[in-house]
């Protein structure tokens, strides 16, 4: 592993577990074992290092989620895999993401509340990327392939529920089993799938 990646991984772990403002450069130097000059050769400021950590986490999370959804062929399978995967992460069983401590992007955005700050912009970009990933997956299913607006609406709903599940788990220290109820989930997803023409109700005048 090169020095830059090692510094990012060390800082990301510390930032995620303790918070951005709670971790100083000296702690990162101590944990990484690199010299101050080496760190500043790669990152001119703490903010630049934070941005690199956000980019690394974004890549890691989206790769993990995409992998968890890659074999899903229907909207229901996508929803089921999404919430099942989140439960695995919340239960500290997603090795790729490390021990759960909420969403790194939500946590970080709370520490940088101004929307025009480069760090806040990266946090927002991550959420948009995840939403796009869900939309792309749903749009590829037979049920929603030609129903862009429905796919968009369902992606937004799943995204909202995902965010709520993560926040609730962070505060209450448990996963939401309700979102893993297959009957409830199927009913929720089905409401966004247009009925086939032959099943629609017709009135003849």
54 burial via Cβ count (<10 Å: 0-12, 13-18, 19+): buried
CATH of 56-193, one of 1.10.357.10, 2.20.25.90, 3.40.50.800, 1.10.1280.10: 1.10.357.10
The DSSP result for 172-189, as a single string, is HSS--GGGG-HHHHHHHH
Sign of CA dihedral 35, 123, 75, 102: positive
Kindly give the confidence (pLDDT) of every residue in the chain, 205 residues in length, as a single tens digit, with 9 standing for 90 and above.
899 999 999 999 999 999 999 999 999 999 999 999 999 999 999 999 999 999 999 999 999 999 999 999 999 999 999 999 999 999 999 999 999 999 999 999 999 999 999 999 999 999 999 999 999 999 999 999 989 999 999 999 999 999 999 999 999 887 777 777 889 999 999 999 977 654 445 444 4
End-to-end CA distance of the chain: 73
Per-residue pLDDT at 99: 95
Per-residue pLDDT at 204: 46
Backbone phi, then psi, for 43, in 5-degree steps?
Answer: -135, 120
Per-residue pLDDT at 11: 98
- Angle subtended at Cα 183 by Cα 181 and Cα 188, rounded to the nearest 5 degrees: 95
Per-residue pLDDT at 194: 79
């Amino acid at each position: 592993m090169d020095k830059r990646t090692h510094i990012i991984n060390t800082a990301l772990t510390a930032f995620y577990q303790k918070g951005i403002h709670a971790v100083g450069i000296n702690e990162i130097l101590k944990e990484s074992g690199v010299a101050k000059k080496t760190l500043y050769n790669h990152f001119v400021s703490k903010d630049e290092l934070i941005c690199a950590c956000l980019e690394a986490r974004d890549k890691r999370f989206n790769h993990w989620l995409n992998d968890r959804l890659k074999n899903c062929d229907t909207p229901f399978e996508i929803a089921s895999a999404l919430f099942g995967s989140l439960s695995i992460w919340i239960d500290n069983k997603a090795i790729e993401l490390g021990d759960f401590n909420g969403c790194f992007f939500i946590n970080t955005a709370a520490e940088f509340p101004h929307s025009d700050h480069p760090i806040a912009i990266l946090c927002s970009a991550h959420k948009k990327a995840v939403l796009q990933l869900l939309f792309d997956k749903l749009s590829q299913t037979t049920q929603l392939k030609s129903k862009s607006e429905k796919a968009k609406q369902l992606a937004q709903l799943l995204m909202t529920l995902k965010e709520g599940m993560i926040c609730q788990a962070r505060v209450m220290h448990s996963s939401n089993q309700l979102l893993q109820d297959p009957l409830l989930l199927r009913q929720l997803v089905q409401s966004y799938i247009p009925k086939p023409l032959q099943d629609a109700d017709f009135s003849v005048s």
